[in-house]
Homo-oligomer: A and B are copies of this chain.
Amino acid sequence: MAGNVNRKKFLKKPVRPVKIDADSTIEALLRRMGDAAFQGKNLAVAVDIWEQMLKGRTTVFFGLAGAMVPAGLRNVVVHLIKERYIDCLVSTGANLFHDIHETLGRYHWQGSCNMDDNELKDAGIDRIYDVFAVEDEFNAADRYIYDLAERLGKADMRPYTTREFLSVAGEDLAKRGKAEGILTAAYKAGVPVYCPAVADSSIGIALALKDGPDHFVFDVIGDVKETAEIAAKAKTTGVVYVGGGTPKNFIQQTEVTATLQCKDVEGHKYAVQITADSPHWGGLSGCTFEEAQSWGKIAKKSSHVTVNSDATIALPVIVTALAQRLKGYKRKAPLLDLKKSNVVGKRIWERQ
């Protein structure tokens, strides 16, 4: 029958039921899960694609959304930076604020989501799902940011890109010799950190405590130009998204920006996203990489996978598997040129 002929092209590889082996490494378990299906398979594919990025000459953008630092993923991100599994970090402001809070020696606490929140309020405790934090202690981080901006303003009163500001913060925190965090590790490793919605976080709040008209000014358009240039100059680009939000969109739009600047880009070639969102709500956070291909954000020919999972499950597992697979392999990270780029070139409506 016609059916039998056509069938062969669909039946290439059987699902192999996952064997449980007490002696298995995480890497080996994930390989077996890669022979199965659903999100377990996608988790395994994520490791494969990330590995391809690191073995090739790919500039890896990493987008970090969600309250991942309060949830305990700070050291996972530090690992990504130190081992240079990523080349550029784009984050929500909250994650960076919480990183500063911890780098300054304070904690988040294991709590519960079944609480009387008004009782917590009375106790001066802020809740982030099942995590607690002391409101007063956050004020110390607010003040640290406020004072840092004051010093910067006195030295050089001009708009700063978020990358510049966060690099200065990383340098300053590193000098204080406290525990390693995301900003300190990024400063040391030369990994740029961008925060497109910086005002929409406690960083923005801290800077809004300034009296009078001369508050700190961020050059967020400068961030857009700079990241577009990183993408345009890279041999190949890859992306890893934890959640959606501004980090995902900001990295996605590097390809659009570069295209409108008449630069030669084709979309990111490798793409991994870990998300708890769904495509059918129509938002950018949950959208598929296929949708992104219509925009040219992801290359027509690309390796990509979506892992539908909470990142607090998926990321530690993926990164440990990657660490096991890459043991002994030292990646040569691409050099990024982060001088404030001013040469845009033509605009798309000026092309011939």
Contact = CB atoms under 8 A, between A and B. Distances in A.
Interface stretch (A54-62, A168-176, A304-312, A330-338): A304-312
A129 to B, nearest CB: 4
Contact of A197 (B207, B246, B279): B246
Contacts of A65: 283
A79 interface: yes
B211 A343 contact: yes
Interface in A72-91: 72-76, 79
Interface string A22-41: 10111001001101111111
Contacts of A249: 94, 200-201
A301 to B, nearest CB: 9
Contacts of A324: 22
A148 interface: no
Nearest to A297: B126
A199 B18 CA distance: 28
B209 A261 contact: yes
B17 A102 contact: yes
Contacts of A228: 208
Contact of A296 (B121, B253, B284): B121
Interface stretch (A185-193, A212-220, A233-241): A212-220
Interface string A305-332: 0101110111011011001100100000
A228 to B, nearest CB: 6
Contacts of A219: 215, 217
Most chain-B CB neighbours within 10 Å: which of A119, A130, A296?
Answer: A130
Nearest to A114: B290
Contact of A124 (B7, B12, B67, B208): B7
Contacts of A76: 17-18, 20
A124 B345 CA distance: 22
Most chain-B CB neighbours within 10 Å: which of A10, A146, A285?
Answer: A10
A80 to B, nearest CB: 8
B196 A224 contact: no
Contacts of A309: 309-310, 313
A115 to B, nearest CB: 8
Nearest to A158: B217
Copies in the complex: 4
B33 A312 contact: yes
A271 interface: no
Contacts of A130: 37-38, 41, 282
Contacts of A125: 7, 10-11, 294
A155 interface: no
Contact of A320 (B22, B212, B276, B312): B22
Contacts of A285: 245, 285
A38 B312 contact: yes
Nearest to A23: B324
Given A4-B124, A7-B125, A29-B26, A117 B217 contact: no
A156 to B, nearest CB: 15
Pick the 4 closest A-B CB pairs, nearest first: A36-B72, A40-B312, A199-B220, A39-B310
8 contacts: A11-B134, A17-B102, A26-B26, A40-B313, A94-B284, A118-B294, A129-B287, A215-B219
